[in-house]
Structure 1
Amino acid sequence: MINNDTIVALATASGSGAIAVIRLSGKDAISIADKHFKSVKSSKSLFNQKSHTIHLGHIIDDNRFIDEALVSIFKNPNSYTGENVVEISCHGSTFIQQEIIQLFLRNGCRMADAGEFTLRAFLNGKLDLSQAEAVADLIASDNAASHQIAMQQMRGGFSSEIAKLREELMNFASLIELELDFSEEDVEFADRTQFKALIDRISYVLKRLIDSFAVGNVIKNGIPVAIVGEPNVGKSTLLNALLNEERAIVSDIAGTTRDTIEDEISIGGIGFRFIDTAGIRETEDVVESIGIKKTFEKMEQAQVVVLLFSAEEFKTKCQRLKIEIEKIKNRFPQKPLIIIANKIDKLSKDELEKLQSQFENLHLLSAKIGIGVEALKEKLIGFVNTGALRNNETIVTNTRHYDSLLKAFEEISKVKSGLEMGLSGDLMAIDIRQALFHFGEITGEITTDDLLGNIFANFCIGK
């Protein structure tokens, strides 16, 4: 798993741009870069320069000048990977990028695998495994909340919490293991009262972390919201109003939206994925029927359902609407349902009061002129428990961490039961070792090549 060769890759996004950054890492990174660097004002060698310095010069291939660039030097162990690292900031032409990368590949470098720079940082002790995974989450973050969680994890907030629990549990485990060595003397080195208090505290922390995954998962992946209703009630207009752009086609012709349309916005730092579905109605149109079928599929996938109806038609369709509301509630009892009366700008004050008396918790809206749109956004953000986010508590977003926490909690629960039943130390020691194993899986004290391969395969090249 540990390679000592020198790797190279483009660290910025592929394609043309003003600037591109090409990164080298490995024992020979500085010496290889030095062979193809010529300073603008002197004949200085990169190898003799101090760490964390930047040098202006030309990247050359024999006597051919490829580009003028800034070259940054980071010497081991004070670099991202813990190895010698060189970063070349060149002009962003794809031709220049490839010329420089090919130059280094011909002269002792190997093309980096996905995530190999971060993998080396982990293997060299610069990051633990959960921090390394947070790097990928940080790159993928597309709203304030997911960015905050990734930054907290990358700074070691989650790791330090797990490491502290693991250290305390390991100390008691050592005492229990010591008791096994003196089993014939029938002595206790581990204070059972203190041990029970520790197990209770570990159980509490694990339960909190496990429960946080429900919030963390939706923050990381966005909250899908299905906008449903009969044709021509303003679903596409609402989507456009929420997105503040003409994303969906709007017309007075019923059935204009034949397929689902999806787009994302950030509300209060949380990502929401809005799904504008085809209208629900009886139809003989084959294409529209397929769209209606997809509507129910999207409702199944959504975490919040928004039922939209036209306020103009409430008098003639009131009973039918109530039946539809009950159908949705019965079919999706666990999903929050927001009932919205759209086009309220076309009703009088008396008509609005009568409308509100017919439906409980009705949200009034005019998507066309923007009435009630901001209030709807506030209502949506209210479905997300952001308390932990505001209090800067650790929030679990990674499925692998969640699985290990569940397994650790199961083992700790066995230890807790063993204490209550007065089981001998040798029996509890088995469960304690398993709990320690699952803690170690999270931070990387315990890894396999397959596990590391699966994790870093999802990274981008150059990181």
Structure 2
Amino acid sequence: MISPKTICALSTAPGMGAIALIRLSGKDSIDILSRVAGKSFENTPSHSAHFLRLKKVDGSVLDEVVVTVFHEGHSFTGENTVEIACHGSLFIQQEIINLFLASGCELAKPGEFTMRAFLNGRMDLSQAEAVSDLIASESARSHEVAMNQMRGSFSNELKDLREKLIHFASLVELELDFAEEDVEFADRTELLALVTEVLAYVRKLIQSFELGNVLKNGVPVAIVGAPNTGKSTLLNQLLGEDRAIVSNIAGTTRDVIEETLNIDGILFRLIDTAGIREEAAEEIEALGIQRSLDKIKQAKIVLMLSDFSGENSQSEGHLSMDSNTTGQWADEQATIHSGAHFLVIGNKYDLRADQINSPWEFQTPFLPISAKNGSGIPELKAWLSQQILGSFNTQSDTIVSNARHLDALLKTQDSLEKAKWGLETNITADFVAMDIRQAMFWLGSITGQISEDDLLANIFSKFCIGK
């Protein structure tokens, strides 16, 4: 699949900047550089940097650049590679690329450098996909997950699982070869224990996808409640700036306001919604309320604000300051949207804390705060972080964040469950072996030990050009 052509492309972000990096990769990349530069780089050591004045065809100086040479087997792609650091002028970038195109290069396709790294054995498929995730990471936690995967932690664990299954399959298939002689090479009790062990770990990887997915894409958090409960004040307090308008007038927030907040390296997408009440004052507010209800359906975490001060006890709507009403509504929503985490926040709790002695009697957890003076905010941030991380450690645990990997793991789980059932019910060895081979296939598809051309094309087409 590797083209014999030498490819080139801009590897830094498109646009003007102080410095731009242009990359060449292929057998002839050093030879092409020598022709363009007018001097030989054939005998320069790998990883060496050189100052160079690049000239146009007419002999005039185009730019002063730094060229780094990487020899075959010692580069990102595994091929001879050249990187040119030039000034970030759009004109200079394009002119340098044109020089190399005219000298025998062809323009790289999206993800072609990383695809060559995979095809040349510099990394497996899951590591190659992690390159894209690393580039797109927006928080410390998503960076940790991508970096661990790119460095091979996920691949090594899958390799161990697959080797255990290969050992299993070899014993079962050996029995099939000697079926007529009634020879047993595999202890079914031990095999059952092995399949159970591998299956448990595959299930743990599947479970980690929920965390990996939100770390990769951000955690949507809906801040909901009745008018005047302090939703906008809470948003401003969390962000540390006056992002939303705060007013005593009910229905100030008419539309959805979205902002991002980083807590413990996790990116939360905070959504301040219009106040929810049974009858809106007018049509625009009603549209805002409907959008609020829609955001609850999409959110991973829902913060249900209620005014516990008693100041707005006569306010309209089915979400009032009354703790019973709020608790019942929160429990109902938590049941309907079982995939989300709900928290009832008793805002302005400090104004009447001495009058409230009854314990919280609902399933939804409760946290008293004051959005105005900031009390309870550190506890709220800690709660948000804990709901996402749970018992996982992003620095040491393998976290699955790729939907393709999840699909393969689910199919692996299905095959292992069939094999486990077969061992428990003493089904014939050939059926058990078939299920184990299928599990091995799906595990291999994650790292690229078993892959197809159309799969590779689909994966690398999502990369940016130059990577």
Common fold by TM > 0.5: yes
The 5-angstrom pairing of residues 414-453 of structure 1 reads 414-453=418-457
Q: CA offset at residue 52 of structure 1?
A: 0.9
* Cα shift readout 1:42-61 (whole Å, capped 9, x = no counterpart): xx522221111111111222
Pick closer, same or farther for the CA change 1:151–1:386 going to 2, 3 Å.
farther
Q: CA offset at residue 362 of structure 1?
A: 4.2
The 5-angstrom pairing of residues 225-244 of structure 1 reads 225-244=221-240
Pick closer, same or farther for the CA change 1:386–1:284 going to 2, 3 Å.
closer
Shifted more, 224-233 versus 333-342: the winner is 333-342
2:7 equivalent to 1:3:
no
The 5-angstrom pairing of residues 89-104 of structure 1 reads 89-104=85-100
Q: CA offset at residue 414 of structure 1?
A: 1.3
d(CA) in 1 for partners of 2:250, 2:94: 53
Q: 2:299 aligns with which of 298, 302, 305?
A: 302
The answer to whether the 8 A contact 2:144-2:394 is kept is no
2:399 equivalent to 1:395:
yes
2:355 equivalent to 1:354:
yes
* Cα shift readout 1:315-373 (whole Å, capped 9, x = no counterpart): 4466755324422321332333222233456x3xxx22224648565433333332322
The answer to whether the 8 A contact 1:145-1:389 is kept is no
d(CA) in 1 for partners of 2:259, 2:36: 47
2:165 equivalent to 1:169:
yes
* Cα shift readout 1:23-52 (whole Å, capped 9, x = no counterpart): 1111111111222226xxxxx522221111
2:138 equivalent to 1:130:
no
d(CA) in 2 for partners of 1:116, 1:4: 13
Q: Which amino acid aligns with 2:353?
A: L
In structure 2, list runs of 5 or more residues that go unmatched.
none
Pick closer, same or farther for the CA change 1:101–1:386 going to 2, 3 Å.
farther
Q: 1:209 aligns with which of 202, 205, 212?
A: 205
d(CA) in 2 for partners of 1:19, 1:220: 28
Shifted more, 262-271 versus 29-38: the winner is 29-38
d(CA) in 1 for partners of 2:148, 2:234: 35
In structure 1, list runs of 5 or more residues that go unmatched.
39-43
Equivalence for 2:343: 338
d(CA) in 1 for partners of 2:283, 2:458: 43
Equivalence for 2:115: 119
The 5-angstrom pairing of residues 148-167 of structure 1 reads 148-167=144-163
d(CA) in 2 for partners of 1:175, 1:326: 58
Pick closer, same or farther for the CA change 1:47–1:247 going to 2, 3 Å.
farther
The 5-angstrom pairing of residues 31-70 of structure 1 reads 31-37=31-37, 45-62=40-57, 63-70=59-66
Q: CA RMSD in A?
A: 2.1
The answer to whether the 8 A contact 1:144-1:270 is kept is yes
The answer to whether the 8 A contact 1:27-1:83 is kept is yes
SS where residue 305 of structure 1 aligns? Answer: strand
The 5-angstrom pairing of residues 278-297 of structure 1 reads 278-281=274-277, 282-297=279-294
Once the two structures are aligned, what percentage of the paired residues are identical? 52
Equivalent pairs counted in the alignment come to: 454
The answer to whether the 8 A contact 2:313-2:322 is kept is no
Q: 1:375 aligns with which of 372, 379, 395?
A: 379
Pick closer, same or farther for the CA change 1:196–1:338 going to 2, 3 Å.
closer
SS where residue 344 of structure 2 aligns? Answer: strand
Q: Which amino acid aligns with 2:379?
A: A
* Cα shift readout 1:221-270 (whole Å, capped 9, x = no counterpart): 22211001222332222212212233323344432322111121111112
The 5-angstrom pairing of residues 66-77 of structure 1 reads 66-77=62-73
Equivalence for 1:329: 331
* Cα shift readout 1:53-108 (whole Å, capped 9, x = no counterpart): 11111122231211111111111111111111111111111221111122222222
Q: Which amino acid aligns with 1:374?
A: P
Equivalence for 1:246: 242
Q: CA offset at residue 291 of structure 1?
A: 1.0
Pick closer, same or farther for the CA change 1:312–1:28 going to 2, 3 Å.
farther
SS where residue 45 of structure 1 aligns? Answer: coil
Pick closer, same or farther for the CA change 1:247–1:179 going to 2, 3 Å.
same
d(CA) in 1 for partners of 2:87, 2:298: 45
Q: Which amino acid aligns with 1:23?
A: R
The answer to whether the 8 A contact 1:312-1:344 is kept is no
Q: CA offset at residue 301 of structure 1?
A: 0.8
Pick closer, same or farther for the CA change 1:394–1:319 going to 2, 3 Å.
closer
d(CA) in 1 for partners of 2:372, 2:54: 57
Equivalence for 2:311: 313
Output the TM-score relative to the length of structure 1: 0.92
Equivalence for 1:41: none
Q: Which amino acid aligns with 2:167?
A: N
SS where residue 388 of structure 2 aligns? Answer: coil
Pick closer, same or farther for the CA change 1:211–1:367 going to 2, 3 Å.
same
SS where residue 160 of structure 2 aligns? Answer: helix
The answer to whether the 8 A contact 1:356-1:362 is kept is no
d(CA) in 1 for partners of 2:7, 2:69: 15
d(CA) in 1 for partners of 2:420, 2:306: 54
Q: Which amino acid aligns with 1:54?
A: A
SS where residue 138 of structure 1 aligns? Answer: helix
SS where residue 108 of structure 1 aligns? Answer: coil
The answer to whether the 8 A contact 1:227-1:305 is kept is yes
d(CA) in 1 for partners of 2:254, 2:162: 54
2:261 equivalent to 1:261:
no
